[in-house]
Amino acid sequence: MSVVVVTGGSRGIGAATCVKLAADGFDVVVGYTADHDAAARVVAEVEARGRRAVAVRGDVASEADVVALFEAAGGLGALGAVVANAGITGNTPGRLDEQEADTVRRVLDVNVTGVFLCFREGVRRLSTRYGGPGGALVAISSTAAGRGSPGEWVHYAASKAAVETVVRGLAAEVGAEGVRVNCVAPGVVHSELHAAAGMPDRPARLVPRVPLGRAGQPHEVADAVSWLLGSGAAFVTGAVVPVSGGF
């Protein structure tokens, strides 16, 4: 089985995705930004499922760090897939006119430039144009891209809308080169994102707006990623798959 790179793999949706893809038979590169202990725990969970893993620290907004991440993947074997999961909200919720320019720049740099860099490196290794075997790329967006996230994170929602545009455009560019490009858009999911933004009660607060009556779990998003990377989605590219309970 081939290797998958998962950015933001030390927690939440990223960690669940690493574990799920290990169960699917992938060896895993766990990309993370700061929490080495959390990344090490994910590596241990992957290894417990009989697969190899390595944790690589870096900032997806840094070209040099992303290149190093993919070089580490080469040390495990042939790349087969990329999951561009790393993303930030900027942490401070509020109206757009209350946001600092530096915060917005950082959110766009991580959420949009980070996906661009990871997908660029993935295409350079997977596309038949470069002698690659083909493969699949998946980005993690958010249903906020369609709602705009007013009063909380308009800049974050805008970054996720940009990610979905990248997915659609790149899918058209590289489809004939053996590379499928798709996106999963979670809704309200129990993860560390809410507490990091100072709103640990956010999932509970939004549940009344979710038709299925609950917040999602990280493993439910990971299941969708797994499907998009697998043979069952062999005729799927350029898609945005909501995992949102209808919200």
Predicted confidence (pLDDT) per residue in 97-112, tens digit: 999 999 999 999 999 9
- Cβ neighbours of residue 101 under 8 Å, at least 6 residues apart? none
Residues 76-104: tens digit of each pLDDT: 999 999 999 999 998 789 999 999 999 99
Residue 142: C-alpha distances to residues 183, 184, 217, 231 (Å): 9, 7, 14, 24
Considering the entire predicted model, what is its pTM? 0.96
Instruction: Please answer whether residues 6 and 31 qualify as being in contact, where contact means their C-beta atoms are separated by less than 8 angstroms.
Output: yes
Give me the mean pLDDT over the 178-194 stretch: 93
Catalytic residue among 26, 116, 153, 156: 156
Q: What is the CATH number of the domain that holds 208?
A: 3.40.50.720
Residue 200 has pLDDT above 90, yes or no: no
Report the distance separating Cα 147 and Cα 169, nearest Å: 21
Phi, psi torsion values for 8, nearest 5 degrees: 60, 40
Which tokens is 47 given?
């290894």
Give me the mean pLDDT over the 176-184 stretch: 98
Residue 195 has pLDDT above 80, yes or no: no
Report the distance separating Cα 147 and Cα 126, nearest Å: 33
* Domain count for the chain: 1
**Predicted pLDDT of residue 201:** 84
Residue 193 has pLDDT above 80, yes or no: no
156 noted as active-site residue: yes
CA atoms within 13 A on the CB side of 223: 8
Average pLDDT, the chain: 96
Look up the domain containing 135 and give its range.
Answer: 3-243
Residues 35-91: tens digit of each pLDDT: 999 999 999 999 999 999 999 999 999 999 999 999 999 999 999 999 999 999 987
